[in-house]
Amino acid sequence: MPFPHHVFRHTPALRGLIIPPGESEMRFGQDRFAELDIQAEEEGWPPGWRMEHDAREANRHAVLKNRLGQDLWVFAYGSLIWDPAVQIKEYRYGTLPGWCRRFCMRLEGGRGSHERPGLMAALDEGGHCDGVVFRIAAALVDQETQFMWRREMFAGAYLPLFKTVATPQGPVDALTFVMDRNNRRYMPDLPEDEAAQMIAAAEGGLGPNFAYLDSLVRHLDELGIADHDMHRLHARARTYRFKSN
């Protein structure tokens, strides 16, 4: 079922480009973790690669304390933009100051391996990030954030924080999943050229790491969200991948 027309009243260019939750593969239940556990064992993912259900739910309730009875804004910088997997009441363009979209999370499974780890995009400190914010209706916040926590907090590599996001319609206090700098997967101060080489070479059970970066850049362009750093990294990674092939 498509999103209601009013969801994109401030962002008409996004209409038709956002995957409805009923069609999203990212709107999954607890059974998905059993499947991922099998994949993790087959691919040799490290022990403790994901959060347990009780710990994840405890984290969700702690973060959303006193907020479950009101509308919830969420800032999206990656696939959450075009594939939110939750029911949404409103979309806006948004800019998050003090944080940037950066490939700084180490991947040893999925689109990487122990032998050739890849990288995943996350929000890291510095600069700013252009993306979107979307609003979940108060009556659905408890239900919909369960899907969101399964997706965003499955490995516990993010910190869910509330940050002020600037939008053309005014600032909003938005839930934002940022890189946990204390997590073992965090790769700080990684030179862009080294990141490009890692992305070009890495591959796992879900396919090449480069395909992930390529999809991110294409979607950001399609949605009209500028990120010159991502384009530069993409160009470098594409050059290395072409040479290696």
Active site residues: 152
Calculate the CA 140 to chain-centre distance. 21
CB-based contacts of 39, cutoff 8 Å, min separation 6: 45, 109, 205
H or E, element range at 159: strand 158-165
CA–CA separation, 50 vs 106, rounded Å?
Answer: 14
Among the residues of the chain, which ranges form H helices? Answer: 31-43, 53-63, 79-82, 141-152, 192-201, 209-223, 228-244
Amino acid at 139: A
